[in-house]
Each structure stands twice: as structure tokens, then as C-alpha cells.
Structure 1
Amino acid sequence: MSFLPHLCLENIFLSLAQDSKTLHSCILVNKQWSVSSVPILWRDPFRLCKDLRKPNKLVPLLNTYLSFLPSTTQKLLDIKSIIGRPATFNYPVYLRSINVVLIHGSVEYWTESMFGADSTSLQKITPICQVLCEYFLCNSSRIDYLDLEYASWFDIFKLNGATTSLSSIKSVVIDDQRNFPEQFKNLSSVMQNTRYLRLSLIYRKNDPACKNIINLLQTQKYLKKISLFSHVSDFFQNIWDTLASSQLLHKSLTSIEFHEATFDNSALLQVSRFYNLRHLKLYRCRNFTGEIQEINNSLVFQNLSQLIICKIGVNPRILEFLLEKSNTSLNVLEFHDHVLNFYETILWCTSFCQNLSRFVASIQVNQIRDIILLFKECKKLEYFHIYDAKLLFEDEEEPLDEYSPPELESFRANELLEELGSCIPMTMRTIKVWMNWLIEIEDIEAFILKCVNFGLSMKVIEFRHCKGFGNAHKEVIRNYLLNNKSST
């Protein structure tokens, strides 16, 4: 490994980009590994600190970056770098992501740590953030990602180096920019190679920014992914009509997400025009309808591999149409807080979508036994997650301290667990059940024994909200998972 060329090492370390702990260990091996791995570790350090939930790491991070500022700039900001020796690497050159809110929040944490939270120190936050962003724009070799969501402190396009550096961005997140109405126009002039765009639309039809947004979309030739957050804007349909009528985007777009959008009655027909569509997500949308017979192309949705439906009711005929047309291409299917005929949906899955690898659904207690059919027919399942329809998925993922889950109807799960243990696909790696199942220790022991006997190698088994599920149950599962881990 120590004699591998730099390009080979770089490709290896790129596969560890999400594993910062391992990547950091690679830096310590030798000089060659350090030179190859440092640029990857320093691509987005602000996000890394946030994801690791280690705000204390922000202080040394900011000290490092601030040490690169000229002494005249540090004096003007009334700050002083506490790092005396020159940095080993030119860290700012490796930065690929500018998230103004994250940088601003990091500077705020650093300022309070260094100077306290008095009014004088708080006045330093925005100027320091602005100077840092400008330094990144001027010194980074390439900026791929720009996030301007809730960034209301300064106009980044007026900073030195913005036009040149941002011309190569691949991903852009932008929301209501009433403080800087020209930003959409500026984006149109520099954004020529963007692959991902996320727009939050809070504008009314007569807002001057609307024309600039439409112009921005019309200039995109290589867009692959788009997320539209409508927030009950009456401007959404204009945006969607612009996208749906773009011949270039019919070929390039592979991922579309709608959040809180209200469609007219031709939504399905318009979506069907994107013949390379692989990912479709509908979240709290209204009036997602359309006449199926209007869609004459027999190849529509044939590449659709991910379908996620959240908090809306979709016409069963449309759902069946999507599942039938996507057929064996569909790998991921999720229904969050979605009212559906679960048994009917399972029948469609087993008839058309037998290559499913991930299935997530909120269900009623009386629908539980229908999952047996899914397990028996969809033999490539790797990830399976069901939760009680009374639960709110977002709250359950990262519950607030004051969050109190509702009282859930109980279900005696001994017979079901026995059946599940006999028909779980060999490919299964994760099972999550967030329901009030009554599980005795003998039930879980028998279930785990079947998993062992059938040679299943699961990595995650999670029972949440189950009555009587105590430490003894957890110990049985933990031992099984540890044995699987040690055998791999």
C-alpha cells in the first residue's frame, strides 16, 4: 500500500469520505498517505463537525482557517490567530463546500468561546464570516457546493472571487432571497454546469424574482436532480411548467422531489416526460393526479428505482401504474404517513417489483400479517422498516426532549415472529419495527435461533415501542449481531 501511486490512494480514500475517523487514522500512517487523504478530509469540515455533533472541534478548525488570513485583515477584525507555526498543508485550497449558515454558526461558536457572548464580540460574527467566505472563494481550487438557505447576512456574489469560483458549482441550495433580490439573476450568469438544484419558493406570481428564477431554470443544460419546496406559493405551477416543457431536462433529470406542492390536473403526464427518471419523492403534495390513458409512451418510468410518498393520498390507480411501469427497476419504496390499502399495495409489489431492496411503510395494526407475503415474494430485500401509523416519522428519527409518542395499540407478536423467522430473505440486513408488539423473551430467542439456523447475516434489528421489551431481549439481539460482525 505504501508504494501505490497517489491517484490510487486518492480513489481508495474517496471511498472513506463518509468515515472521518478512519480517514483521520490514514493521515497518521505516513507522509504519502497524509498527502493523499488530507484533501478529502478537509473538503467540508464544517459539515463534518455538525454531523459528528462535536461543536468543540469548531474552535481549532476556526483557529486554523483564521491563521491563513493576512495580519492586516486579522488586525482589522480585531482578532489574532493563536497558531504560531505555519500550517503543514494549505487547508483552504481543499474546501469544496460553502454553507453560509454553517460557517456563520461556527464563527458564532468560536467567538463566544474566545471572547464571550457580550454585544461587542457578537458584532464580530458576520464580518469574520464574510471575510472567511471571501478567502475561501479566492483560494479554494474549486467550489462544488453552495448553500444559501437562510443566509441573510451578506450577498455572497458581491465578494471578491465569487464569479470565478462559483462558475464550477455542481450543487446549489437557495431559499427566499428577499434581502438580495439579484442573487437568482447572478446565479443564472455563473451557474452553467449545475447537477443539483434545491429551490424554496415563497414568491407570489407578481414578484420580480420570479422572472429571474425561470430564467435560471431555462439556462440549465446538465441538471440531474431538483428539489422544489413550494410552501404554498402560487408561483409553483409556473416553475413546474417551465421544467416540464424543457426538452433538455427531459433527458438529463434523473431525480425530482416535490415538497408541499399543489399541482393542476396534469401532474402525472408532466412527470412521465422525464424518461430517465430514477428517483421520485412526493411530500405533502396536493392534487397529484392525471389521466393514465393520456400517457401513450410504453417506456415511461421504466428507469424508476426509488419512489417515496410522504403524508399524501395518491390515487390507487396511479400508484399501481407507477409500480407496474417501474416494475423490476424499482429498488426503494417508502410510504410515510400515507393512507393506502396496504394489502393491495403488497400484492402490486409482489406482482411487479420483486427486486425491491428497501421497503418502509407506516401501517395499521390489522395490516401486520400482510408483510409475510412481501417477505416470501421479494427475495432481494435488504432493509425493512414498518412503524405504527400513529407515529410521526420525523419526530421518531430525532425526538425532541418534550416529544411524547402516542398510545399505540398492542399486538401479540409470538406467532408472527415465528413466521417471519422462517421467510426472511437471505439478503436482509436491517429490520426495524416501531410498533407496540408484545414480545416475550422466549419469542425473541426463537426468532434469533431461526435467523442463526438459516444463516442470516443481519446488521440491525430494532424493536421500538414494544411492551415488555427489556434488557434481556436486547442482550439476545446484541449477542447475535456481535457474532455476525465478528464473522465478517
Structure 2
Amino acid sequence: MIKINVDCLSFIFNELQTNKTYLHSCLLVNKKWCHLIVPILWESHPWNINNKKSKEKLFNIILSCLSFTSRQLLFDNNIKLPSTILSKTPSFNYVSYCKFLKSKIIKEIIEMVSGKVFVTGKYGKYEYLEQELYKLYISQCKNIKGFSWQTSQPLLSFPGASICFSQLYSLSINEIDKVDTDSLYKMSRICKDLNILIIHGYSQEKIPGLISLIDAQRKLKSVSFEFRIKQGPTCKELSEALARKGNTINKLNLRSVKIIPPSFLTSLTNLKTISIYNDYDSDVSTREEFQNYLAISEFPELQILCINGLSCFKESATLVEKTRGNISHVNIYTSDSVAENTGMLIKAIANNCPNIEQLSTYLIPEDFDHVRSLLLNCKNIIYLGLNSLEYFTDMDENYDVGDELLNILTKFSPKSLTKMVIGAGWKYSVDAFERYFESCRERKLYYFGISYNIDNINYITDEHEIIIKKYIDEKVIIEFVY
């Protein structure tokens, strides 16, 4: 039998890492294969295990890697480890192969040992187990790639922290108020090559440390702030820190527009993805300021635009017109039952986004002509969600205004359009419904949905649902959501 050299084997096994079944079957071929495959399997941890017994076996292996000193400390504090953990030192230093450290996994191991479910993360005497598990990972893992941080343990003071976190690529701080303040400053001195930074929660006293961490990064590309608070001072300094990274940041996710002043938006000249979620109870001046900065910003490389809770159809249209035509996804959700300039956005997309694949927005019947242009110009669109705004009209209340939209979809939909959502706030005739579904026979609707509008107006009747069921039975509609 021809022997394959180690480099070739390593390449093959790494290519197979997306299919753990194949790798597991290769483990038993011989000792050399086993030594090559084990590090690959443990690099990202097989954490998607749903089987409780399998997960417990995995956790027991991790606990088996604890040092004698750690075990003694736990014993002295009346923490009894499972009798099923390995009595001998494991054949491999499994933990050292891990490239991702998640606080959630530490929590699950503690819950297995204690037999309790912890919600707040305050583990009582089991904080000693939390401490020793983190010490284990930090001392053994060299240059982890991703870290999910949710503990008040002084991790950056543990032995090996400067090596463990020095090449960190992705950092998610799940509850920043729980993170030791000094650790943020220490992390900024150790970790300088973050590409992804995700912040959940808000703490005013942690902002200086967070700014220090942001300033230390040389190639920060993706930032996400999940500030779910109703009250709090605006943080001009944080906005300025983001502006200083304007040349590198290409992805922005912002949960609350209240805390970070939007002036930094004009500095993000290389932005490819922007996702903004505005709390519906924010004041008018805050919304207007954000909309004004969106209007004067330019993101020529933009590919994904998602805005929730801001009625900024005109501003979004202006952004689209300033791009280089590479937009693939646009999702706009508004909190206003009556919005202006909805047609401007659809028209801008039709004229400037030939490669768009997904669009979800609001519109009124006057905008239906723009939908025709959209379908004619955008031949790659896969998903289209057209949600109805409240519509005031002097027309006969029996007029089926939605038929115009369905007729346009019937005549002009490209073959690529296999996922469709329409608003329940327009009236549709049953005949128009049936004609539309008949036109979908060749391409099939893998997804068809009906969405309520902001005021929960619904004109979908039992007759419409009977037609929908018919086409589901005939496999024209694969999935229906109402």
C-alpha cells in the first residue's frame, strides 16, 4: 500500500472537517491518522451535540484534563466531580487543541457537575469550578480564534492569558456589565488583531475600557452593539472611536440608536453591511438625527442594507443610488402605519441593483408600477416581501386593489423568484390568487407568506386559504406561512 505523506493527509483531513462522520471513521485506521485527526475534531469542539449522554461524555473528558492542583482545590471546597471522569491522564491534551472558548460551555459543564440550572451566572461555591475551567483553557490553549466572554472572573490575570488571547479573531462580550473592568484594558494590550467585536448589554462605567479595546485594533472589520435599554446618556466618545476605525470597518450592526451618536456613519467609507434596529419609543429628534446622517453618508461598497424602526425610505433610496450596484439584500421595516417615499426606494433598487437577491419593504398601491420595473430589471431576485401600509382611498371598498400587484407578479416575475410574501392589508380576488399560483407551476414557490400590516388589517378569507391549500397539495407551494 502506498503511504501518503503527513502533509497530504493533514490537507485531506482538514478538507473533511465539515463532515465529522468521515473523520470519526478515519480515527481507527492507525495511530498516525488518529494523531492527525484528533486535533482537527477538537479545534472547534463538536458542540452541536443534542444527545445528553454524548455531551456528558465530552464534558467528562474536559474535566479529566484538570490538573491535580485544580482537583484538590475543588475537593477542598466540597465540589465533587463526576465519578465517570477519566481516572488516568487522557491520551491527548484535548483542551489544547481548542480554538474557540465559549462561556456557555463553561456554564453547561458547571450545571452538569452541580445538577442545578443557573440563570444569572452566580454559581456560589461552583465559582471555583468556573475559575479552574477557565484557567485550564487559558493555560493550555495557544492563540484561540474566538472567545465568547460572559464572566466576572479576572481572566486576563490567569497564567497564559497573554498567549491565549494574542491572536484573537472574534470577541463577543455577552454581558459587558459582568466583565471585570480591568480586564478590558488588559485585553486591549494583549489583543490587537480583532476582526469581529460584538457587545451585548450596556454599562457606562465600562465604556472607557471598551473604547481602549476598539482603539487598539489594527484591522477591525465587524462591530455589533446590542444595547437594549430605554434610558442612558449618549456616548460621543464611543462614536468617535468608531469613526477612527472608519477605513477598516465594513460591517455594522446597531441595536439602539439612542446611545451612540450617528456622526460616525459618514466615516465608514468601506461599509458593506449595515443593520440598524431602532427602539420604537425613541424620541423624534433622535430618529431625525439618524436619518439625516444616513442621507449624507456614502457607502459605495454596500451589499446589505437592513433598517428596522426608522421610516427612512427616502434616505435609504439615496444610499442605494450612491452605491456601485453590488447590493444583494435590502430589508426595511417601519413602525409608522403611514410612511412617505416608499416608492422612491423600490425605484432606486430597480434602477441601481441588478444583482439584488432579497428585498423586503413596505409600499402602497401607487408604488405597484415600480414593482414592475423591479421585476424586469432584477433577474436574480430570489426573495421578495411586499408589506402593505395603511392605505386611505376614495375607491369602492369592494375594489380588489391587490389584484394589480398579483397581476404584475404573474406576468413579470423572473424564474429566480421562488420566495414571496405579500401583505394581508390589500384586498385580492380569489381569481387573481389562482392565476398567480398557476404562473408559479414551473418554478415552484419554495416559500409563500402573508404578512399582517402594522394595523393588523387582514383581507385574507377562507376562500383564499382554500386556494392556497390546493396549491400546497399540488406541490406548487412548498412552504406556507401566515
Q: Which TM bucket (shorter chain)? A: 0.7 to 0.9
Deviation sequence 1:394-435 (CA, Å, 0-9, x none): xxxxxxxxxxxxxxxx98867754542443223335334574
Post-superposition CA distance 1:154-196 (Å, at most 9, x none): 2222333222201111111224336622122111111111111
Aligned to 1:214: 211
* Percent of matched pairs sharing the same residue: 16
What TM-score, normalized by structure 2, do the two folds share? 0.73
Runs of 5+ unmatched residues, structure 1: 17-22, 391-409, 483-488
Once the two structures are superposed, the pairs formed by residues 405-484 of structure 1 within 5 Å of their partners are 416-417=405-406, 419-433=408-422, 435=424, 447-453=436-442, 456=443, 459-462=446-449, 467-468=461-462, 469=465, 472-473=469-470, 475-476=472-473, 478=475, 481=478
**Number of aligned pairs?**
430
SS of residue paired to 1:66: helix
Residue identity matched to 2:139 = C
- Distance in 2 (CA, whole Å) between partners of 1:357 and 1:451 is 18
Q: Unaligned stretches of 5+ in structure 2? A: 279-285, 391-398, 453-459
Separation of aligned partners in 2, 1:310 and 1:58:
38
Q: Could you say if the C-alpha distance between residues 414 and 195 of structure 1 is closer, same or farther in structure 2, counting changes exceeding 3 Å? A: same
**CA distance 1:293–1:129, change in 2 (3 Å):** closer
Q: Determine if the alignment matches structure 1 residue 131 to structure 2 residue 132.
A: yes
Distance 2:450 2:22 in 1: 36
The residue matched to 2:193 in structure 1 has which SS? coil
2:157 alignment counterpart = 158
What are the superposed Cα offsets for residues 64-116 of structure 1, whole Å, 9 maximum, x if unpaired?
A: 3112223553452421351558767643233222222x124312441355x89
CA RMSD of aligned residues (A): 4.2
* Contact map agreement 2:295 2:319 (CA 8 A) in 1: no
Q: Secondary structure at the match of 2:290?
A: coil
C-alpha displacement of 1:201: 6.5
SS of the residue 1:256 aligns to: strand
Distance 1:309 1:479, change over 3 A: closer
AA aligned to 2:358 is: R
Instruction: Provide the residue aligned with 1:323 in structure 2.
Output: 320
Tell me the residue number matched to 1:406.
none
Cα contact 1:59–1:109 (8 A) shared by 2: no
CA 1:277–1:446 in structure 2 vs 1: closer, same or farther (change >3 Å)? Answer: same
The answer for the alignment partner of 2:238 in structure 1 is 239
Distance 1:240 1:188 in 2: 18
Distance 2:400 2:58 in 1: 51
- The 3 A distance-change label for structure 1 pair 179 and 347 is closer
1:332 aligns with 2:335: no
Partner of 1:93: 96
* Aligned CA distance change for structure 1 residues 386 and 132 (closer, same or farther; 3 Å): farther
Contact 2:144 2:168 in 1 (8 A): yes
Once residues 35 and 446 of structure 2 are traced to their aligned partners in structure 1, the CA distance between those partners, rounded to angstroms, is 34
Of 80-89 and 188-197, the range deviating more from structure 2: 80-89
CA 109–314 in structure 1, closer or farther in 2 if over 3 Å, else same: same
Partners of 2:365 and 2:401 within 8 A in 1 = no
Matches for 1:273-288 after TM superposition, within 5 Å:
273-284=267-278, 286=287, 287-288=289-290
Aligned counterparts of 2:428 and 2:189: Cα–Cα separation in 1:
61
Task: Kindly provide the amino acid, as one letter, of the partner of residue 275 in structure 1.
Answer: T
Pair 1:258-2:254 in alignment: yes
1:347 equivalent to 2:341? Answer: no
Deviation at 1:385, TM superposition (A): 3.4
Counterpart for residue 187 of structure 1: 187
- Corresponding residue of 2:12: 9
Residues 357-390 of structure 1, C-alpha deviations (whole Å, 9 max, x = no match): 1212356788778644432322121233345679
SS in 2 for 1:160: coil
Q: 1:328 is paired with a residue of what secondary structure?
A: coil
Q: What amino acid maps onto 2:334 in structure 1?
A: D
TM score, norm. by length of structure 1 = 0.73
> In the aligned structure 1, how far is the partner of 2:217 from the partner of 2:312?
30
Structure 2 equivalent of residue 310 of structure 1: 308
> Which residue of 2 is the match for residue 486 of structure 1?
none
Change (3 A) 1:306 1:464: closer
Which residue identity does 2:95 align to in structure 1?
A: P
Q: Return the alpha-carbon distance in structure 2 between the equivalents of residues 264 and 377 of structure 1.
A: 37
- In structure 2, the residue matched to 1:20 is none
Match of 1:375 in 2: 375
TM-superposed deviation, 1:293: 9.8
SS of 1:272's equivalent in the other structure is helix
Cα distance in structure 1, aligned partners of 2:64 and 2:171: 28
